Amino acid sequence: MHWFESQLAQLDTLADDYLAARRQPATDIVNVSEATRLKRAAFIDAVQAVVDKVVKIEGVSACAAYHDGLILAQSAEASNMDAFGAVIQETIRAAQHGETSLGLGEIEQIVIVGAVNKLAMLSVGPIILCISSPKGVNLATVLSQAK
């Protein structure tokens, strides 16, 4: 397993832990709420750490993480984050429609390739991790070779 795959696996584990904490019965609401808050914070901190590392990889222009169209984490270099989020939200909505009507199963990734740049969107737990790069960059290669 290369670096990026291990980061995604760690995020999936933290996301599962957070979602499991949210499903706990609220018999002791104070402790359940605190446990949920801590799991959420650990997940969001890990997401920001991955975003910060990914954007430093040669060939990556920007990186951000979204949940329901809201920015959870972003690289400092990214510009037009609100527009970025709107495009991602609409793309995910269209893909989810295709997921049902075409029988694709749960969407794992989407790649949009333009004449100049491309955008990869990866489902990680409850978030969408977005990575932007110039069109000619092979994201799979640069992400797999990162350390």
List the pLDDT tens digit at each of the 147 positions of the chain: 688 999 999 999 999 998 888 777 766 666 668 888 899 999 999 999 999 999 999 999 999 999 887 888 888 655 677 777 788 888 888 888 878 788 888 889 999 999 999 999 999 988 999 999 999 999 999 998 887
CATH 3.40.50.720 assigned to domain 3-145? The reply is no
Q: Enter the pTM of the model.
A: 0.86
Q: Could you tell me the sign of the dihedral formed by the alpha carbons of 40, 46, 48, 50, in that order?
A: negative
Taking the C-alpha atoms of residue 131 and residue 2, their distance in angstroms, rounded to an integer, is 17
Which amino acid would we find at residue 105? G
11, 44, 67, 97 from 24: Cα distances, Å: 20, 20, 22, 30
